[in-house]
Structure 1
């Protein structure tokens, strides 16, 4: 599945996953307890609610939430130091977890000459040593 992390249109990715897995529309209708028209409406949407996305992830055995996580990793601004008096009660996640898809995405940008190493490091906040490690380990 080719992914554009800058612009996420979830309906397109769900439709692509359905095609790749060969899932019958009748099975989808039964799973969601809805009509074929309602399924097609879902597939035409650019975004969807989290409960519906969770159902799609279960049905298609693909973590669609990860698309958004990878977008955050690549495009969110650097975190600032928070006020020490402020207590976070939500779970904390590491931002620097790079998946194979992100690594491939970055190396493709570099390989095609779309961006230089310096631009990639500046725009995505990827450390120089990490980028060089990826180049030596994954470059084709």
Structure 2
């Protein structure tokens, strides 16, 4: 369940290991000592300013993990709430699925881990959207 429980420190540590960036470079870039960096690896959540710095250093959008969680697990917004949008902050539509989300869902369906109806119910993905993804998957794989 990649997106259900997010332990950001684990994701950061994994990306650091993949990137093979030295601890000295990390400490210098973040302006932190080694002990602080280790505490971040162990932490389930970190400050957004620090997460932004990590995203820049590792060239990876860690915020997308949280966006993916919202897409998959947040309940659909009520219809009347959309008319109350603030003009001071950006509005993002919930129904835009990233390629990672599509692959995550398709993997669960194609492996038999979940049925189509379970995916539709669990993640509130429209039936027509899921069927379109499956059709595209059939044409690219077949």
TM more than 0.5 = yes
> 1:84/1:76 Cα in 2 relative to 1: closer, same or farther (>3 Å)?
closer
For residue 72 of structure 2, what is the aligned residue in structure 1?
74
Aligned-residue CA RMSD (Å): 1.9
> 1:86/1:26 Cα in 2 relative to 1: closer, same or farther (>3 Å)?
same
Structure 2: state its 5+ residue gaps: none
2:30 aligned residue (32, 38, 63): 32
In 1, distance between residues paired with 2:37 and 2:134?
Answer: 42
For residue 50 of structure 1, what is the aligned residue in structure 2?
48
Shift of residue 111, structure 1, vs aligned partner: 2.0
TM-score, normalisation: structure 1 = 0.89
In 1, distance between residues paired with 2:42 and 2:110?
Answer: 33
For residue 19 of structure 2, what is the aligned residue in structure 1?
21
Residues 75-114 of structure 1 mapped to structure 2, 5 A cutoff: 75-82=73-80, 86=84, 88-89=86-87, 90-114=89-113
In 2, distance between residues paired with 1:9 and 1:131?
Answer: 28
CA contact (8 A) 2:85 2:91 kept: no
Which one has the bigger helix percentage?
A: 2
